[in-house]
Amino acid sequence: MARIALDAGKLIMDIYEGDFDFTKKGDDSPVTLADEKAEALILAALAEADPDLKVIAEEAMAAGQMPEHGARFALVDPLDGTKEFINKNGEFTVNIAIIEHGRPVMGVVYAPALSRLFVAETHNSAWQASAAPGAAVPAERQRLRIRKAPDEGLTAVASKSHRTPETDAFLEKFQVAGLKGAGSSLKFCLIAAGEADLYPRMGRTMEWDTAAGQAVVEAAGGRVLMEDGAPLLYGKRERGYDNPYFIVYGGVSPA
């Protein structure tokens, strides 16, 4: 999957570095040619690698394509952080995840503008590497592991595009010494890399937004829990693959 994400990242960056337009989908969220082309590349590559794998992908879903799937399937967001892409701040990602029995067991998050690649190979093995768009999957890798909560206070991470009063109220329960803004699923990866400790998401997300990042942070020792303390699960077809509110914890105990 890392190879697929790197190739999608190259296609995305070719568009990013030029002039491009965007349109609005039915839910008023933006979509660009990069979203559509990257998704087509990813879907074709996944189908070649595993013809039986069912895939739930963001742009296909927006077009009304919701395939039936069993206990094992893939979730794809070809360009997570389209607003960040449009604003040209670099904080957008390619997200690919494999789900088994409701849990993300493998995942790749790739930020092509930042050349940062995050991979969860199993439920307890994750790594990061520097990788240019379209490059070979790097052999030089750094193991991902959450950090112990710092004595001087936590670093929380929050969305650059979707901050809410509920998020601020939740953070007041913790000793937060600093706040990092980040776009897309990079927020999960900052916690997995030990660069932050806590990420509450009190706003709407879809399963393809979060599955790959959850795979990475959980493989690094973190947790992704709903407000009631239960793990965030996948395959919620009856909800249209919409997520409830959730919190990502590094080395932090839930409030």
Residue 34 φ/ψ, nearest 5 degrees: -65, -40
Residue 66 has pLDDT above 90, yes or no: no
Strand pairing of 154-159 and 176-182?
parallel
Q: Which fold has domain 2-142?
A: Fructose-1,6-Bisphosphatase; Chain A, domain 1 (3.30.540)
Whether residue 156 contacts residue 175, with contact meaning beta carbons closer than 8 Å, is answered with no
SS3 content of the chain, % helix, strand, coil (to 5): 30, 30, 40
Report residue 62 CA to chain centroid gap.
18
Query: What is residue 65's predicted lDDT score, i.e. its pLDDT?
Result: 86
Comparing 2-142 with 154-249, is the CATH topology the same? no
Q: Residue 77: count other Cβ atoms within 10 Å of its Cβ.
A: 32
pLDDT tens digits, one per residue of 73-104: 999 999 999 999 999 999 999 999 999 999 99
**What is the C-alpha separation between 23 and 2, in angstroms, rounded?**
29
Q: Bigger pLDDT: 113 or 158?
A: 113
Residue 160 has pLDDT above 70, yes or no: no
What does pTM read for this prediction? 0.95
Query: What is residue 21's predicted lDDT score, i.e. its pLDDT?
Result: 85
pLDDT band at 63 (very low <50, low <70, confident <90, very high): confident
**What is the domain partition of the chain in residue ranges?**
2-142, 154-249
Which stretch of DSSP H or E encloses residue 35?
helix 33-49
Q: In the 8-state DSSP scheme, what is residue 149?
A: P
* Helix/strand/coil for 13: helix
* Edge-to-edge strand ranges of the sheet holding 142-143: 55-57, 72-80, 93-100, 103-111, 116-122, 125-130, 142-143
Angstrom distances, CA of residue 26 to CA of 29, 30, 61, 162:
7, 9, 11, 19
pLDDT band at 123 (very low <50, low <70, confident <90, very high): confident
* Helix/strand/coil for 175: coil
Whether residue 118 contacts residue 192, with contact meaning beta carbons closer than 8 Å, is answered with yes
Q: In the 8-state DSSP scheme, what is residue 50?
A: -
**What is the C-alpha separation between 234 and 99, in angstroms, rounded?**
7
Query: What is residue 162's predicted lDDT score, i.e. its pLDDT?
Result: 67
Residue 24 φ/ψ, nearest 5 degrees: -110, 140
Q: Residue 87: count other Cβ atoms within 10 Å of its Cβ.
A: 14
pLDDT tens digits, one per residue of 134-143: 999 999 999 9
Residue 203 has pLDDT above 70, yes or no: yes
Residue 13: name the closest of 33, 30, 27 by CA.
33
Mean pLDDT of 150-169: 86
pLDDT tens digits, one per residue of 8-51: 999 999 999 988 888 877 677 888 999 999 999 999 999 999 99
Query: What is residue 161's predicted lDDT score, i.e. its pLDDT?
Result: 63
Strand pairing of 246-249 and 198-201?
antiparallel
Whether residue 238 contacts residue 122, with contact meaning beta carbons closer than 8 Å, is answered with no
pLDDT band at 249 (very low <50, low <70, confident <90, very high): very high
Whether residue 136 contacts residue 7, with contact meaning beta carbons closer than 8 Å, is answered with no
Query: What is residue 84's predicted lDDT score, i.e. its pLDDT?
Result: 92
State which CATH number among 3.40.190.80, 3.40.50.300, 3.90.550.10, 3.90.870.40 fits the domain covering 154-249. 3.40.190.80
Query: What is residue 174's predicted lDDT score, i.e. its pLDDT?
Result: 95
